[in-house]
Amino acid sequence: MQRHSRRSLLRASGAAAVAGLASLAGCDAVATVGLPEAPERGPAFPADPTGATSTFRGGLARRGYYPEHDTPAAPAAAWSRPVNTGDHTAAKASAVPLYPGRSTGEAAGVVVPGDDGRVRAFDAAGDRLWAAAVEPAERGVHGTPTVAGDTVYVGAYDGALYALDRATGERRWRVRLGDAVGSSPAYHDGRVYLAVEFAPYEGSLFAVDARTGVVEAEAPAPTDHPHSTPALAPAADRVVVGANDGDVYGFTLDLDRDRSWEVHTDGAVKGPVAVHDGAAFVGSWDRHLYRIDLRTGTVAWRHATGGKVMSGPAVDPRRGVVYVGSHDRRVHAVGVDGEPAWRSGTGGWITGCPSVVGDRVLVGSYDGHLYALDPESGDTFGDRAWSLELDGWVTASPRPVGDAVYVAERATETGPGAVYAVT
């Protein structure tokens, strides 16, 4: 008997809808899903989203590298706003600049989603500019938005990709691609790339027309939930993503399956990928950090940590060092050549990504602190080091915008998780 996947049922239901056929009964409400080729559009149709962009980890390479910014010498939370209410242990969405290319003064606004199912934009003073709700889903939004031109793109746990007006938050279009989205989108050359999950154990990587929401390409892999955020290396014609099946997948930008590679690890790959120097850097729940050749998929080296790696790596190109967190409660610094540099402990798991901000490495921990570490030694007590205690478990990637560093936390037993502006 032929097995029908959740993916094929979604596609079949969409085709039936277009053909005007009767819906498929008993398919867990699959028949309500339209074809991705026909997105649900709002009253405002998006302009061509060209120009400056802002995205998760600072760019398509996902390096988390911000050398042009400074970090505060005596940090304090200038303001905070609740955004997260769920107890899911995955890292939460991060803030990104609302105005790409303009991140100072009055233009230093940010957009940040929450697992309560709302996407919010704030100005530099913490005043809310707008809020937009996604369709009801148990875990709301975990992925970080991408802003391209005047449009905000974000995926949600209802399985859909949204395009929102940057100025108002008004929904421009929504296209349901699968059952859940836990990763962050990337914008490149008129397309939005997004990893999508299907129930129970499937996944796909999509390339969607950024203006219309129409699917232009799909790679019917990974074979298990791709919660990982893809990194793009346009010069190498590669997009790389991990999945819960323990594999790291390298595709061409047109998602040609015949020109792809797979690298297997012995644990789930849930964190984002970073690319640098012709290689992809990614962590696995098998307690290792990997360097993989972008062209061939060859593993150049793997570095052992003392715990699962859900964190995504930050790459400092000037120092030639990769920084990644682990469930062993440490930040590990490893040279791009695989030579260990240092490791520095915190009081809790590190599931979010470190960021290189100016002359410090910033990272959040489950011990409720945001840490600034010396990038050359990992020192937590030197002139370039500090820690700031917040209210919850700090699991988002720190992001500098204007004169502040923004970071979000997950909810705890005592209250919701907030996004903070640290100055």
Confirm if 119 and 129 have CB atoms less than 8 A apart.
no
**What is the SS3 string spanning 237-277?**
CEEEEECCCCEEEEECCCCCHHHCEEEECCCCCCCCCEEEC
Confirm if 368 and 388 have CB atoms less than 8 A apart.
no
* pTM of the predicted model as reported, rounded to 2 decimal places: 0.91
C-alpha distances in angstroms, 220 versus 167, 208, 228?
A: 35, 14, 15
Q: Which residues contact 161 (CB under 8 A, 6 or more apart)?
A: 153, 154, 155, 174, 175, 177, 181, 185, 192, 194, 206, 208, 213
- Out of 39-53, 117-131, 203-217, 370-384, pick the least confident: 39-53
**pLDDT for the residue 321:** 98
d(CA 420, CA 422): 6
d(CA 126, CA 152): 19
Most confident listed range (71-75, 155-159, 218-222): 155-159
pLDDT of 20 strictly over 50: no
Phi, psi of 9 (to 5 degrees): -70, -40
Of the pLDDT bands very low, low, confident and very high (cuts 50, 70, 90), residue 343 is: very high
Phi, psi of 90 (to 5 degrees): -65, 155
- Percent of the chain at pLDDT exceeding 90: 77
pLDDT of 29 strictly over 50: no
Question: 59: how many CB neighbours lie within 10 A of its CB?
Answer: 18
- Out of 1-10, 26-35, 66-75, 125-134, pick the least confident: 26-35
Query: pLDDT tens digits, residue range 413-422?
Result: 888 999 999 9
Mean pLDDT of the chain: 89
pLDDT: is 100 or 57 the higher one? 57
Phi, psi of 171 (to 5 degrees): -70, 125
d(CA 305, CA 48): 44
Phi/psi-derived region of residue 174, left when phi > 0, alpha when psi is between -120 and 50, beta in every other case: beta
pLDDT of 48 strictly over 80: no
Confirm if 113 and 93 have CB atoms less than 8 A apart.
yes
Q: Which CATH superfamily is domain 57-422 in?
A: YVTN repeat-like/Quinoprotein amine dehydrogenase (2.130.10.10)
Question: How are beta strands 160-165 and 151-155 bridged, if at all?
Answer: antiparallel
- Tokens standing for residue 221: 């892999």
- Tokens standing for residue 369: 């602190």
How do the domains of the chain map onto residue ranges? Answer: 57-422
Query: pLDDT tens digits, residue range 204-245?
Result: 999 999 999 999 999 977 778 888 999 999 999 999 999 999
d(CA 216, CA 213): 9
pLDDT of 299 strictly over 50: yes
**pLDDT for the residue 16:** 35
Cα-Cα-Cα-Cα torsion 285, 288, 290, 296, nearest 10 degrees, comes to: -70
